[in-house]
Structure 1
Amino acid sequence: MKSRINLVTPDLFPKPLRLSFDRMILAAIASVFLLVLIYVLVNWQVLKAQEERKMAQLKFEQVQQRHAQLKEQLVAHKPSEKLVELVNRKERQLELQQLLIRELSDRSALASQGFSGLLTDLASVHRKDLWLTEIYASEGHFRFEGVASSGQSLPLWIDQLSSASSLQGVGFSSISMESKDHRGLVFELTSVDKEAGQ
């Protein structure tokens, strides 16, 4: 009886090749196609970027040109006479409004300082031969206008004013008188300005 012993194991047999010629051709074609596709995409992005750059450059030049035009217009701009007159008119209106506000503020301050006290003092030195037609008082400055029946009554009344508490320390700098046949002696008495006195 004969027996065989196989000394060659399966590991010693040559392994079949997985990469065939056909597969190599397909892989080469796929690689070329992929490279072409990448080239096309990159080239398209480059062209798109260049186009966007050209558009941006064009817009920049337009804005720059517009800026130069506006700058020239600004340098050469001259306001119209109507506009200047309107501005001047508004400025005058503002000045008048400021004067009005200042006058109202002075009146309010005078009222808060006790204008009633001044009227009370003037009533206490009232004379039958002299009467006041206008009283002006603002921040320590006084002006009295009125009519006196004779020239002697006015100096006497001025002496009496010095005794009024609201007129303590007030001096009078000027007095004007004018004789009116039908009204008597019209006078205007003005106090010394404190700032001028200082």
Structure 2
Amino acid sequence: MKQTINLYQLSLRPVKRTLTAERLGYVLIAVLLIMVSWRIGIETGSQQVRSELQQAQTNYEALQTNLTQLTAQAQEQQVTQRLSREVERLELEIAASRSLLQEFSSFSMVSQVNFGSVLSDLAYVHVDGIWLTRIVADENGVEIYGKTLQPATIPEWISGFTEAPTLEPFQFSVVALQRDQQNVLNFGIVSKARSQNTSRAALEPEEQ
């Protein structure tokens, strides 16, 4: 006779755990904690990035301000240097004009050369950068003395004499060149009828 023994007793059956309200609460709390931690991490990182960005913006503005100030200072220095050179040039022109006016006060009309016409022609052929300091015009010819910072302008200036009726008949040549302590070139030109020795002496300072 066949006998059967039931070993699957009630105590040996597996217990099926169900999701109770308590367990669901634990799960929700764990998920909430994870989300809060993640949110805090994002906020902390964002705040740090914003702080670094603000610092970089502040540094950029400071550098921009320094650059503007340095640019303004450089421009002011360049303007000051240009003004200084312009003042020196004007002082030379004023000194030359004063000397020329003093010479004019002692000139008179001569027999063979019309001094007024000579002055008019010299004004007509004027070249920037040349200042006349002395003019002699008489029966022997014409002597012209002046100053310049640009020696290359002298030949150009003399070539313009061909356009001046009073000066065109004369053949001029440079007979004296001398630089002073301010690096200004003193020059003298004469027509062929004059003595070169006399012209050179006119450039030398008078003895006191």
Which protein shows a greater Rg?
Answer: 1
Fold similarity call, TM over 0.5:
no
TM-score, normalisation: structure 1: 0.40
